Amino acid sequence: MNRTRSEQLFAEALKYIPGGVNSPVRAFRAVGGQPFFVNRASGAKIWDVDGNELLDYVGTWGPAILGHAHPKIIAAVKAAADHGTSFGIPNPLEVTMAKLICERVPAVKKIRMTSSGTEACMSAIRLARGFTRRDKIIKFDGCYHGHADSLLVRAGSGALTFGNPDSAGVPPAFTQHTIVLPYNDEDAVTACFAANPNQIAGIIVEPVPGNAGLYLPQPGYLEFLGEITRAHGALLIFDEVMTGFRLARGGAQERFHITPDLSTFGKVIGGGLPVGAFGGRAEIMDCLAPLGPVYQAGTLSGNPLAMAAGLANLAELEASDAYAKLEKLGEQLAAGMRDAAKSAGVPVQVNACGSMFCTYFTSAPVHNVADAMKSDRERFKKFFHGMLDAGFYFAPSQFEAGFISTAHAPADIEKTVAAAAKILRGL
């Protein structure tokens, strides 16, 4: 593929933007080479500035569940923009969005909008601490909840150790109350509560972790998290920024029949515009200012353009047979990739949940980040670039989930699997 214009733009970007990108994974550091620059997108396809056409399995990292530039979303944004891009004053669309989320997610009785998933998770944790009057939070290795200081933590040396900062610029004191445990390990959680009696405010978890690739909760694991938090007076926080309204009409909590105390959302509820939200039980949410002592604010929270785009996105998902279609496409892709890898004799684990998926280059099942780290990253690099050159854009990291949209067709999946089979045979 000719990428001359992308190369020129990247060279120029390096002069003015750190690393040439505004989010690290876009830099292609995990796979080598240089990123391409997108000129436009429509449906399941994107076109770069050099005119190359690609079938997209990144989908803006999740929001483009209907595909890119869906006409109803574009029309909704244009109509909203005609009335103004931002007010800093309550607008009717905020109320409509809040009511819609509360209707679709039974665990959410009240909700507050933010401008990003990072803000939503940061605020939910502050709220959990304020409500319980406890300081410690449990998170899981491999689960990403945004780049707030107290959440940028890697796993310690054991189940009960406190995490160390995972980024320069984060003082250790900021993370001393964040405990990092392995995902899918019930014993580690039990031991942690025993070692920290009446000190743990809550557990924050991606019900289906999608930021270390993709792996699923073991049967009974999410139920266990609900039970142990209730038993110890702590709160269970579901980070559904990625899974919310994607894995089911009511998100992962509907799919797995779990009722968390707090939930965070993003991506799909913004239809491609910056957005986040956190909500839950009314008595917890009423601890937020101006009613309670927990402060949280945001100038652009409930932005009318984001609300309009998100409402159009959710309305179209409701009106169409979207979730059934996404399930079938996800099953088709996962089965096809498994068959292709088997035929090629390449050890690959294809983890999938609805319209989310990940291909790990390892022979062992992947249930947590430690399993994921056993993947052959050099093999993934070759696979990634082979697919990219063939016209298929997968996430440029072994440790990121892929996404399918309703704009993908069964024929697209067939072409993808055929291309993957050819590339896998050459690895």
Query: Do 189 and 221 have their domain in common?
Result: yes
Are both 53 and 114 inside the same structural domain? Answer: no
Q: Which of 318, 344, 375 is the last residue of a domain?
A: 318
Instruction: Supply the DSSP symbol for 288.
Output: B
Query: DSSP characters for 250-261?
Result: T-HHHHTT---S
Same domain, 314 and 338: no
In Å, the largest CA–CA distance within the chain is 62
Same-domain pairing of 350 and 362: yes
Structure tokens at 414: 């067939």
Among candidate residues 267, 376, 381, 412, the one labeled active-site is 267
**Are 160 and 251 contained in the same domain?**
yes
Domain end residue (candidates: 298, 318, 338): 318
With a CB cutoff of 8 Å and minimum separation 6, the contacts of 249 are: 104, 317, 318, 323
Q: Which candidate in 48, 141, 185, 239 is catalytic?
A: 239
Pairing of strands 136-140, 178-181: parallel
214 and 108, same structural domain?
Answer: yes
Q: Do residues 161 and 257 both lie within one domain?
A: yes
Q: Smallest Cα–Cα separation from 288: which of 301, 274, 275?
A: 301
pTM of the model: 0.95
Cα separation values, 81 from 75, 189, 305, 306, 311, Å: 10, 48, 6, 10, 15
Q: Are 346 and 225 found together in one domain?
A: no
Residues 185, 325 within the same domain? no
> How far from 25 is each of 44, 66, 373, CA to CA, in Å?
21, 23, 17
Rounded to the nearest 5 percent, the helix, strand and coil shares of the chain are 40, 15, 45
Indicate the number of domains in the chain: 2
Contact call for residues 207 and 250 (beta carbons, < 8 A):
no
Strands 235-240 vs 262-266: parallel, antiparallel or unpaired: parallel
pLDDT for residue 165:
58
Indicate if 414 and 390 belong to the same structural domain: yes
Low-confidence ranges of the chain (pLDDT < 50): 155-163
- Terminal Cα distance for the chain, rounded: 20
Domain that holds residue 302: 71-318
pLDDT in tens, 104-138: 999 999 999 999 999 999 999 999 999 999 999 99
Active site residue 412: no
CATH of residue 265's domain is 3.40.640.10
Query: 284, 318, 352 — which closes off a domain?
Result: 318
The catalytic position among 144, 183, 323, 360 is 144
Question: Is 144 one of the catalytic residues?
Answer: yes
Residue 80: strand, helix, or coil: helix
Between helices 322-344 and 410-425, what is the axis angle to 10°?
20
Residue found under tokens 């990403």 = 144
Say yes or no: 110 and 242 in one domain: yes
Does the active-site annotation cover 239?
yes
Residues 115 and 62 in one domain: no
CATH number, residue 375 = 3.90.1150.10
Question: Residue 162's pLDDT is what?
Answer: 46
The per-residue b/e assignment along 348-364, b for 16 or more CB within 10 angstroms, e otherwise, is: bbbbbbbbbbbbbbbee
